[in-house]
C-alpha cells in the first residue's frame, strides 16, 4: 500500500494539467507571462489543430503549437512549446515566432538539472533570434558552445533547429 501511494504521489504532478489539457500548470503560467511580456498587443492563444497527417511534422508528439492573436483576432505570431533532453532529465522551452515566422525569442521555461543551467541565460538564448523557418542552425557554428552545458546547449540547438524545420513544413502545407 505504501509503495502504491508513493507511486501515486510521484506521478501526481505530471497529471495536473492546465485548462487546455496540454501543458502542466507551471509551464502554462510561465508561457503566459512570457507572451504578455513579449507582445504588447497579445490577447489570447489558440491551439493549432493538426490532423493525423500533419501531427507527424511536430518534433515530438508532446509538443504544442499555438497561434497568437491580438484583441482583433489578428495573428501576431506563433509559440512552439516543447521538451528536450538534458543530461539526466528534460527541460521545457518555448520558441516564439513573429507573424513572418522569424524567431523573436527562445526561453527555457523549466530547467530540472543542477548542471547546464547556463542555457537559461538571456544572452546565450539571444543567439537564436532572427532565424527564420527556411533556415537551419548548427551548434558551434551559428550558436556558441557553453562550457559545462554542452549536452543541454546541443540539445536545445537541435530542438530549435527541428522546430524551424517543423514550422517550414507547416507553412509549406498551409497548415499555418
Per-residue pLDDT 10s for the chain (176 aa) are: 454 334 333 333 333 333 343 678 888 888 888 888 888 888 778 777 666 666 666 666 678 888 898 888 889 999 999 999 888 899 999 999 999 999 999 999 999 988 888 999 999 999 999 999 889 898 989 999 888 888 899 999 999 999 999 899 888 888 88
pTM score, whole prediction: 0.81
Beta partners for residue 75, in sequence order: 69
**Residue 161: its pLDDT value, please?**
94
Name the H helices within the chain: 2-15, 25-38, 122-125, 150-172
| Burial degree of 110 (CB within 10 A; 0-12, 13-18, 19+) | middle
**Residue 91: its pLDDT value, please?**
92
**Residue 78: its pLDDT value, please?**
93
Residue with grid cell 547556463, as numbered in its chain: 118
C-alpha distance from residue 31 to each of 57, 68, 96, 115, 143 (Å)? 22, 12, 10, 23, 24
**Residue 54: its pLDDT value, please?**
63
For 127, residues 6+ apart whose C-beta sits below 8 A from its C-beta are 142, 143, 144
| Annotated domain spans of the chain | 14-172
Q: Give the phi and the psi of residue 94 in degrees, each rounded to 5.
A: -130, 140
Which residue, among 110, 81, 84, has the nearest Cα to 22 in the 3D structure?
Answer: 81
Amino acid at each position: 500500500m505504501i509503495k502504491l501511494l508513493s507511486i501515486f504521489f510521484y506521478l501526481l504532478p505530471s497529471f495536473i494539467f492546465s485548462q487546455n489539457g496540454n501543458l502542466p500548470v507551471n509551464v502554462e503560467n510561465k508561457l503566459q507571462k512570457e507572451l504578455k511580456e513579449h507582445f504588447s498587443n497579445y490577447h489570447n492563444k489558440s491551439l493549432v489543430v493538426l490532423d493525423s497527417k500533419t501531427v507527424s511534422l511536430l518534433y515530438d508528439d508532446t509538443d504544442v503549437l499555438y497561434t497568437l492573436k491580438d484583441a482583433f483576432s489578428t495573428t501576431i505570431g506563433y509559440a512552439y512549446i516543447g521538451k528536450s533532453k538534458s543530461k539526466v532529465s528534460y527541460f521545457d522551452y518555448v520558441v516564439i515566432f513573429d507573424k513572418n515566422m522569424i524567431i523573436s525569442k527562445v526561453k527555457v521555461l523549466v530547467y530540472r538539472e543542477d548542471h547546464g543551467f547556463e542555457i537559461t541565460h538571456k544572452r546565450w538564448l539571444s543567439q537564436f533570434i532572427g532565424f527564420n523557418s527556411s533556415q537551419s542552425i548548427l551548434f558551434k557554428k551559428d550558436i556558441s558552445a557553453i562550457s559545462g552545458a554542452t549536452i543541454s546547449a546541443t540539445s536545445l540547438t537541435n530542438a530549435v533547429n527541428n522546430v524551424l524545420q517543423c514550422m517550414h513544413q507547416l507553412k509549406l502545407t498551409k497548415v499555418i
